[in-house]
A and B are shown apart, each in its own frame.
Chain A
Amino acid sequence: MRNKPAILILVFAAYICACGAVYAHHGNSAYDEARIVTITGTVTEFDFVNPHTQIYLDVKDAKGNVVHWAVESQSPGIMKRNGWSRTSLKPGDQITISLNPAKNGAPVGFSGKKTGKVVFSDGRELMMDER
């Protein structure tokens, strides 16, 4: 159990110079644009609504505690042009998502533009780039 890879959280403290500022509609100052964190967990809710799509997921930390993450993403229109639809995610899906975390350390993040993406359990990937 201890080695179960599915519950391994890969946190890349990768300080990447993101190409262009994150556009989160309400201001990027809440999120750390220089940091990209990648988390793996189980989707609990997917809100395909304006002006922000939202993905909620339960992620187990290294100690096995469940942390509930809330992720803001792009508008449904932008998501659609990236191949998304309202049925792209459903509760129970296992996904890995790359995001810019909140600066305050809360389990909240923004996933979008060139650095945000979701990897599904079957290996498929969807971006949320502005287009």
Chain B
Amino acid sequence: MQRRALKSIAALTASAALFLLTFPLAGQERPAAKSAASPAPKRDLSGVWQFQSGGGAQGLAPEKDMPPMTPWAQARFATEKPGYGSRATTEGNDPILHCDPMGFPRVIFLPTPFEFVAAPGRMLQFFEREHEWRPIWTDGRSLPKDPDPTWYGYAIGHWEGDDTFVVESSGFNDKSWLGATGYPHSEDMRTVERYRRMDHDTIAYDITVYDPTAYTKPIVAPQKTMKLLAKTDEIEELVCVASEEEAFAKKIRIPAVAQPKK
């Protein structure tokens, strides 16, 4: 009996070692468009881009770098129960659990790609997540002075030099979280983004969030990277369907967090 147990342990150890040796190979990054060396086109961001995430919880800025909140935001924050980060709980109330829109800027930091399409007078961002789109007006108009708040806001953009597309946005509602770790923003939020094309396959992405109603200082996100995907990669349809979400919750989400039976 003892010998059998020892054999089993030896077999498991050997299998685990083999598994550990082979696994990193299977998980290697796929190269992007394989053309980083080719020159970057001027004033052109068209293509399917993927935010290089360090994990789904990675959002605007690490929690430790978030500026102090105002009392208004602190009260909101206290009601938020995220599924990620230092306050992660299995009893979360993330708005996306019932298919509320991700909103901007949260949608940018997802592990799903978006596509830039240039059109006369505007640049369009098509997000796989939610099958959502965001027009960025480039015809010289200003941001509206008193916009009706929306999940994705109102955006205008212009080029700085030949490689940097600067986008200013406002007009957001305050219903979305800034990210999966659950930080609020107000309707006064304004954002400035810089998409700098470093080479053919790479965008260096900077975003600053100005929201004095919610934060005592602007949130300056650490620079992030976006990579151009292969031409064969297309934006797929990733919609949140409430009925399917409900079925999923019954079959997986709730059993995964239920208290074990004694």
Contacts and interface: CB of A to CB of B under 8 A. Distances in A.
Contact of A12 (B15, B233, B236, B241): B15
Interface in A86-119: 102, 104-106, 108, 113-115, 117
B117 interface: no
A27 B90 contact: yes
B20 A78 contact: no
Interface stretch (B68-76, B135-143, B216-224, B254-262): B254-262
A125 B28 CA distance: 14
B55 interface: yes
Contacts of B26: 117, 125, 127
B46 interface: no
The winner among B12, B248, B251 for most chain A CB atoms within 10 A is: B248
B82 interface: yes
The winner among A31, A49, A71 for most chain B CB atoms within 10 A is: A49
A66 interface: no
For chain B, give the interface size range: 35 or more
Nearest to A79: B236
A11 B12 CA distance: 8
Interface residues of A, number: 49
Contact of A49 (B16, B50, B244): B244
Contact of A27 (B94, B233, B236, B258): B94
A77 B128 contact: yes
A59 to B, nearest CB: 15
A77 B238 contact: yes
Contacts of B248: 49, 52, 54, 72
B258 A104 contact: yes
Contact of B260 (A10, A26, A106, A115): A106
B56 A10 contact: no
A18 to B, nearest CB: 9
Nearest to B87: A29
B63 interface: no
A7 B171 CA distance: 58
A124 interface: no
Sorted nearest first, the 10 A-B pairs with minimum C-beta distance are A27-B83, A23-B56, A77-B236, A21-B55, A130-B111, A114-B27, A20-B55, A29-B88, A102-B256, A30-B256
Given A24-B83, A50-B241, A104-B258, 12 more contacts: A20-B53, A25-B56, A27-B82, A28-B56, A30-B83, A30-B257, A51-B245, A56-B251, A71-B252, A76-B238, A104-B257, A125-B26
